[in-house]
Amino acid sequence: AGKCFSAGHDLGDIAEGEAVSSRGWHSETLRMLEKLPKPVIAAVHGHCYTGALEVALAADFILAADGTRFGDTHAKWALTPVWGMSQRLPRRVGIATAKRLMFTADMITAEEAVRIGLAEYSVPLDQFDAEIESLAKKIVANSGFSHAANKRLLEATDGGPLDAGLQWEVMESEGHGSDMQERIAAFTGKGK
């Protein structure tokens, strides 16, 4: 809603030395968002700078409206990330691209964000709300059990060796959800 996703953290608050519950409060909050057992889409339009980008990166994926601009301006203001930028951005776009974005403080377009893997895809602004709704409906139509289990599986094995991940997938499988029989029966026509 509004004219943009977010222009980022208020620089005035930072300069005044805002009080937070704990040193890692922002990071902890975004980690909770990241670990939600449901898929999280960052629907980004307009501006998405610095702290806002850190919030978007905590989502499972980013959908961008065309015309969106992304950027990390920490270096522009003599700041360093404390909300997770240094960890999530390179995992999303690769270390060299993360360094380029962090060191230059350049703004990039939605199209560039898609090209480098920051955003999944870009949609014309006039179709943005409809696309978000369509994407959400596709996700909700599938098993919530599978979504939660897949998120935990991906989280547990991200960045690790392939063989260890394959072993984890077999040995730590959460099996099937309570909705499996119903879903298969509906597909095969053998429902009650």
Q: Can you point out the beta strands (E) in the chain? A: 41-44, 47-49, 61-65, 69-71, 107-109, 121-123
Q: What average pLDDT score do residues 138-159 get?
A: 94
Query: For the segment 13-66, what is each residue's pLDDT rounded down to a tens digit?
Result: 656 666 666 677 778 889 999 999 999 999 999 999 999 999 999 999 999 999
Beta-carbon count within 10 A of 16 CB = 9
Positive or negative, the CA dihedral 115, 47, 6, 127 is: negative
Residue 83: per-residue pLDDT: 87
DSSP letters, 116-133, are HTSSSEEE-GGGHHHHHH
User: How much helix, strand and coil, in percent to the nearest 5, is found in the chain?
Assistant: 55, 10, 35
61-65 and 41-44 strand pairing: parallel
Residue 36: per-residue pLDDT: 95
Lookup: tokens for 90: 């390179």
What is the rounded distance in angstroms from the CA atom of residue 69 to the CA atom of residue 79? Answer: 20
Query: For the segment 88-109, what is each residue's pLDDT rounded down to a tens digit?
Result: 999 999 999 999 999 999 999 9
Residue 20: per-residue pLDDT: 67
